[in-house]
Structure 1
Amino acid sequence: MSNKFLYYVKKLKFPFALVSFILSVVGSIQVYHGQFDNLLKEFVVIIYSVIKLFTFFPTESVLKNSPLAYELATWMAPITTVLGLFTVFRNLYSDSIMAIRHLNKDRLIVLGANKESLIFIKNTLSQYPKKRIVCLVDFEEEVDSDILKLLQVQLVRIDYSNPEAEVNRLVVKDEKLYKGKKIVSFEKEPKVYYHVQVLSKLLEEYKDIDVYIRTETYRVKEIVEESMDKIKNFNINYFNINDLMTNNFLQEFNINNTNGLKASWKGKKFDTLEDIANQVSRSNILFIGYSNIVNHVLSSLSNISVTNPLKSTKVTIIDEDVYKKFDEFMDYKTRLKSVLDYELIEIRKKSRKIEDIFLEKSKEEAFNAIFFCDEDDYTNLINMDRIEKYIRNLSVAVYSAENSDIDTIYETMKSKIAGLKIFGNIENIINHDVIINETQLEKAKKFNAYYNLITAEMMGYEKSDKSLQQQWKSLSNIKKESSWNQSLHQNTKRLLLSKFSELDEFKDENILSLWKSKLENLTVDEQVDVIENDIYMNYMTSLEHKRWNNFYYMRDFVYDEIKDESNKKHDCLIDNWDDFMSSKQRPKAIYDFISTLALEEE
């Protein structure tokens, strides 16, 4: 009720004040015009009368009959003054409450005040109402301070153009920015990297500040990350909103439901790695429509959908401008053909040919998942309607940036397509728990620590006495990304292990414990021999190697006999598994297998 009242007060305050002023002037003129011979005297009296009306002391008695305009002004003018005072005191009250409420609390610092920043602030305060948030902006940045004040968010300005200015040091001290243990930025690239570097110098006396930077273009981040890694007082984490949204969605979406993995493996017998690969088959995914989100889905699929070490995930993309769009995606990915087996088909949007193409390609190799990814919701729905009767038993995903726009039709289509899912609304992703307390990030940290522990046990190394956080912070950015991707692939490995457990040779066995026991107290060469001679261990090891290769290929690494990560060269990027196992890199196969043993931690 009070919020509604305040809304109307704010909305009507200006027109009410304008009418009050007009009535005060008109009423005063009607009362005093012609009473003085001196025009200057008359003008001064009228102005004085207007002022007195707004200060609760009209020059004419309320008991005296006066013109209607003056009578109305007698009441409206002082009410206007009260509303003005109310606004002033309300701002002072809000500032005081904010200062008291946030007294001595750690600050969450948000860089910039763009749309994404405000969404993050609102969502965070919804999750944690008592969280103290400081919005840090450039001196020259235009900001809607009313919204921030309404959210009880402190607005602080820094002169980024003159980082050595004394005023910046004073702002850090006076606003206690050093109490900001976490910094989140949604600012645009590349200026965000400069702003973070400026802040690191202003806060150089304070250590272990976690910084989360939103990236837009992977290549820009690659260019600057080497210099960003040199900032020692900041623990820098990068995130891309669409990547977070896509990975979260694909973890729940049934992307690896190939016929070979859906079928029962009870009673089956495999003699070679190739036999297992043929049974597993591979994911075959169709994209109809090509918006920017497709690039993020493809990047995630290059990791999550790796179920077969001998065959790459099959991807077919249909769009009216598919070659140009895919060419842009291929930039800085010279070995993409080693990652994805892709086919591009160019036809106009909403074409009737979509049905014919779907039927033709399904005969060649059955699809197990379909993505409708045009920017336009209507186009996605028309395309889905074209082939709806053929996809009722498949995993189907529809991209919609505003899910609510198609909720009604979605419910109707879901009654026909059981596996239908909608994804694309980033507002649910831009919040504290996803970006700062990100579940997958925590899983990646745990995976990295447990991987290190298993490695130490298997290789006879000394176990690290560093904490989980310290081990993570010691990694370079690309090593963090590698661990992140490994942890994202764990569910895929679990799926394969669950199929192995259906086989007679693993009946009543804990597969991971069995495998670990086979490798205990052996040299590395002996361990690799055991792995190579066990088709199931060999399958999981070659699978991880395939996934690992994909990770580096997607970052435009190439094979070279001499490892040089700064120039994107790696000596382990050997695609053929037999060639790898017969090369001088053979002993490193144990590291690929350890990623499977790390499943034991969960």
Structure 2
Amino acid sequence: MKENRNYYKKKIYLALLIITFILGFVSLYEYYSVTIHNPFRLLSTVLYGVIKLFLFTPPISTDDKTSLLYEIAKWLAPILTSTFIFTKISNTLLHIKNIWFNKISANHILVFENSVMGETLINNLIDDNNSYKISLISKHFIDDNLKSKYEKKGVATYQIDFEKSDKNEIREFLNTVNINNVKYMFFCSDTDLENYALYINVIKRIKPQRHIGCYIKCESNTVSSYIEDMIVYEREKKENLKKIDTTHFNQTDLTVRKIMCESLVNESISKSMDSLSSMGDIISAERIDENIKRMHIVVIGINELTGTLLKFIANDMTTKLTEDTLISIMDYDADTKTEKLFAENIGLKKALDFHITDFNKVPLYESLRSMKESPSLIFLMNEDVVKSLKYLNIINKQFTDVAKIIRNVSNIDLTYALPKDENIKLFGDVSQIMTSDILIREALDNHAKKFNNSYNEYSQLLLMGGGSSWNELSYVKKTSSRLSAMHARVKEDILRKIFFDKSDDFIKNYLNKKFEEFKKLEEIMKTDNEKFKTEFRKFLKANPVLDFLSRLEHKRWCNSYYTMNFVYGEKKDENLKTHPCLIDDWNRVLGDKFDVCHPEYDLLSVFTLFLGEDNNGKRKEA
């Protein structure tokens, strides 16, 4: 009842309005029919009298004798009118209050367009612990009831069309929302081109006074590239646009990102490293690799999510140096579907080891029985959740303890249809992905920025320039830094397993100590580069844990670039998608490609581990 209060209030108001109109009409008809005999004049007078009732002007003198019906109508009509007027006044005052509170807030967020994703985002942010102040801007009409609902929740709503509004109107609007001081802007229109147009209209007019994160819903890579080209061009004209950080997102990417953040997924990765705790005191990069079990991921169902899922797996589940993650893909017509998938994502085969099963040739139960490596994790990706439930029954007969991630886009609660099993997780609801943790991912970006800062400081030390600030990085470089940050939890888990009897503080101190030792090598580099390379190789050999993690980071980096369809090339070119460091042989990276690939950067990513808020970036400042 509470959730539908506005609905019932509207129904009650309408019912009272109809009753009042009927009472007024009947009572006035009885009163005027005695003196007016012309039917047309009588009807006109009665209707005019009913209207006057609602305008606080009784049509009958208080001295005249009236019926009870008229007396009821005489009181109800102005009360209903007053309610309507006061509602409008209160909504206006509420809107003014929201404008001012939002304007002065340091956590002010602008959401452009009231789409499904936009509405879901607003509702999730309202419930967020960060106390965001939200303004909704739409070029399309927003229903009064919805507007009232938003305003009562503190969301200021505006309707403006940048293409049709004049300069003064737009200027006044931008001043009203204090756009130069907002924290985030989300462009959530259903169409890419509309988001592109909105973004252009904002960027051309904004003069940011602080760092502003812009999140643009964009399914098309072509439109994304236009957006990136446009912001680069505009920054050349306006220096302060360097404070704008632009991120593209789409439902597929967010959905898969949500899956990869699930505790079941992280636990499955962690289980593959359990043997690290029993290595003993004799540690080498090779022994660490031997004690990590290769991840084996089963993906049942090939569709629009599969390619993105595999890209994330190639990055987040890189755990071994000598073997790629094994992917068993299963579906009807799997051979044909995967051929198309690989044609669109040519680098996947370089990053992952595939085994493809066509259900037309080999049924599920038979393929599961013939597996040489037991699965680490099973994804049931079919849109038809009934199919997935059927497959689940077969899988559970053989792999009860393996985690299963099941897609459910039916909007039906399947809790009671599933086995009482903690190893099962459902996904697919848009409300799960339009959240600050998945979309804004502030903690992840902070980690990526710390790595970029370390990279810049080291570049400066090499006399290669100070590098680019985070907001000036290309979209490819930002993506690469974020993917490195995503993999940090895997490296941290490896360290925890190796130092299983030590605390996180011990591991942090260990990394701090090794970083101080590495800094001494930097001093050698300033005077003798060849000696530095020799000493760097000795440093890694003397520190096998750092050696392993540096190699693993290089392998992960290669995988991430492969999945972005980069290939080896003598020159680094993001347009042609070539890079001279796409070399799988670590010995070559440490050898003849040292001055090109700088393996020190891979080591730097290790020194940025465990740099949470409680650590205050100690190693970065050291």
Indicate whether the TM-score tops 0.5: yes
1:94 corresponds to 2:118? no
In 2 relative to 1, CA 127–270 (structure 1 residues): closer, same or farther, beyond 3 Å?
Answer: closer
Per-residue deviation, 1:148? 2.7
Q: Secondary structure at the match of 1:552?
A: helix
Aligned to 2:295: 283
The amino acid that maps onto 1:294 is: T
Q: Is the 8 A contact 1:372 1:398 kept in 2?
A: yes
Post-superposition shift, 1:201? Answer: 1.4
Equivalent residue for 1:180, pick from 179, 182, 196: 182
| Gap change, CA 1:357 and 1:172, over 3 Å in 2 | same
- 2:582 is paired with a residue whose SS is coil
State the match for 1:360 in structure 2.
370
Q: 1:329 to 1:17 in 2, by over 3 A?
A: farther
- The 5 Å alignment of 1:378-397 reads 378-397=386-405
TM-superposed deviation, 1:592: 1.6
Label 1:37 to 1:238 Cα distance change in 2 as closer, same or farther (>3 A): closer
Out of 63, 80, 84, which is 1:83 matched to? Answer: 80
Work out the CA distance in 2 between the residues paired with 1:174 and 1:591: 45
Q: Is the Cα–Cα contact under 8 Å of residues 558 and 569 in structure 1 kept in the other structure?
A: yes
Kindly indicate whether residue 483 of structure 2 is the aligned counterpart of residue 485 of structure 1: yes
2:146 matched to which residue of 1?
147
Equivalent pair of 2:216/2:246 in contact (CA under 8 Å): yes
Mapped to 1, the partners of 2:282 and 2:93 lie a distance apart of: 74
Deviation at 1:26, TM superposition (A): 4.2
Query: Given the superposition, is the C-alpha separation of residues 337 and 123 from structure 1 closer, same or farther in structure 2, using an over 3 Å criterion?
Result: same
Identify which of 367, 372, 381 aligns with 2:380. Answer: 372
Alignment-derived partner of residue 601 in structure 2: 591
Question: How does 1:90-239 map onto structure 2 within 5 Å?
Answer: 90-103=87-100, 104-106=103-105, 107-127=108-128, 131-138=132-139, 141-152=140-151, 153-162=155-164, 165-173=167-175, 176-187=178-189, 188-204=191-207, 208-218=211-221, 220-232=223-235, 233=241, 234-239=244-249
Which residue does the alignment assign to 2:554? 545
Between the aligned partners of 2:603 and 2:463, the Cα distance in structure 1 is 17
Q: Distance in 1 between matches of 2:539 and 2:412?
A: 51
Q: Which amino acid aligns with 2:258?
A: M
The residue identity in structure 2 corresponding to 1:13 is Y
Preserved CA contact (<8 Å) 2:567 2:578: yes
Asked if 1:409 is matched to 2:413, the reply is no
2:529 corresponds in structure 1 to: none
> Per-residue displacement from partner, 1:426-484 (whole Å, max 9, x unpaired)?
4144234554462222232234334555x479x677997x9xxx943343322222111
1:319 aligns with 2:328: no
> In structure 2, what is the Cα distance between the partners aligned to 1:129 and 1:149?
23
Which letter maps to 1:99? I
CA contact (8 A) 1:242 1:296 kept: no
Is the partner of 2:123 in helix, strand or coil? helix
**Cα RMSD after superposing both structures:** 3.8
> Aligned equivalents of 2:477 and 2:264: distance in 1?
22
Partner of 2:563: 554
User: Offset of 1:572 from its aligned partner?
Assistant: 0.8
1:486: how far off? 0.9
Q: How far apart, in 1, do the equivalents of 2:234 and 2:570 lie?
A: 32
Amino acid at match of 1:42: L
Distance 2:288 2:181 in 1: 55
Residue 8 of structure 1 aligns to a residue whose secondary structure is helix
Distance 1:352 1:529, change over 3 A: closer
Which range moves more in the overlay, 99-108 or 255-264?
255-264
In the superposition, the TM-score normalised over structure 2's length comes to 0.81
- List aligned pairs for 1:184-583, cutoff 5 A: 184-187=186-189, 188-204=191-207, 208-218=211-221, 220-232=223-235, 233=241, 234-240=244-250, 241-249=254-262, 253-257=266-270, 261-262=274-275, 264-267=277-280, 273=286, 276-320=288-332, 322-323=334-335, 325-327=337-339, 329-330=341-342, 332-347=344-359, 353-361=363-371, 364-401=372-409, 405-410=413-418, 412-414=419-421, 418-432=422-436, 434-436=438-440, 438-450=442-454, 452=456, 455=458, 471-501=469-499, 512=511, 515-516=514-515, 519=518, 520-521=520-521, 522-523=524-525, 524-530=532-538, 533=541, 536-583=545-592
Q: One-letter code of the match for 1:51?
A: I
Q: 1:444 to 1:250 in 2, by over 3 A?
A: farther
Q: 1:397 touches 1:423 (CA, 8 Å); kept in 2?
A: yes
Closer, same or farther in 2 for the Cα pair 1:381/1:525, shift >3 Å?
same
For residues 396 and 451 of structure 1, do their structure 2 counterparts lie closer, same or farther at Cα, with a shift above 3 Å needed?
farther
CA contact (8 A) 1:528 1:589 kept: no
Counterpart code for 1:126: D
Aligned residue for 2:581, secondary structure, equals coil
Report how far residue 576 of structure 1 moved. Answer: 3.0
Retained in 1: the 8 A contact 2:546–2:606? Answer: no
> Kindly tell me: are residues 407 and 227 of structure 1, through their superposed partners in 2, closer, same or farther at Cα, counting changes over 3 Å?
same
Q: Which amino acid aligns with 2:408?
A: S
Cα distance in 2 for residues equivalent to 1:395 and 1:262: 19
Structure 1's unaligned 5+ residue stretches are none
Report if the CA contact (8 A) 1:197-1:231 is conserved: no
Question: What is the distance in 2 between the residues matched to 1:527 and 1:145?
Answer: 71
Offset from partner CA, 1:316-360 (integer Å, 9 cap, x none): 122235456545544552222001112332327xx9932221111
Shift of residue 371, structure 1, vs aligned partner: 1.5
Q: Distance in 2 between matches of 1:331 and 1:235?
A: 32
- Alpha carbons of 1:569 and 1:223: their partners in 2 closer, same or farther (altered >3 Å)? farther
Q: Tell me what 1:10 maps to.
A: 10
2:326 is paired with a residue whose SS is: strand
Distance in 1, matches of 2:109 and 2:552, equals: 41
Deviation at residue 553 of structure 1 after TM alignment: 1.3
Task: Tell me if the contact between 1:214 and 1:239 (Cα under 8 Å) persists in the aligned partners.
Answer: yes
Query: Between Structure 1 and Structure 2, how many residues are aligned?
Result: 577
Partners of 1:451 and 1:598 within 8 A in 2: no
Shift of the 282–190 alpha-carbon distance from structure 1 to 2, 3 Å rule, reads: farther
Change (3 A) 1:257 1:217: farther
Q: Mean alpha-carbon deviation: is it higher for 256-265 or for 207-216?
A: 256-265
Alpha-carbon distance change, 223 to 310 in structure 1, aligned in 2, over 3 angstroms: farther
Output the CA distance in 2 between the equivalents of 1:222 and 1:197.
13
Secondary structure of residue in 2 paired with 1:211: strand
CA distance in 2, matches of 1:303, 1:156: 41
| Structure 1: distance between partners of 2:85 and 2:340 | 54
Q: Structure 2: which 5+ residue stretches go unaligned?
A: 236-240, 526-531, 613-622
Q: Percent identity among equivalent residues?
A: 22
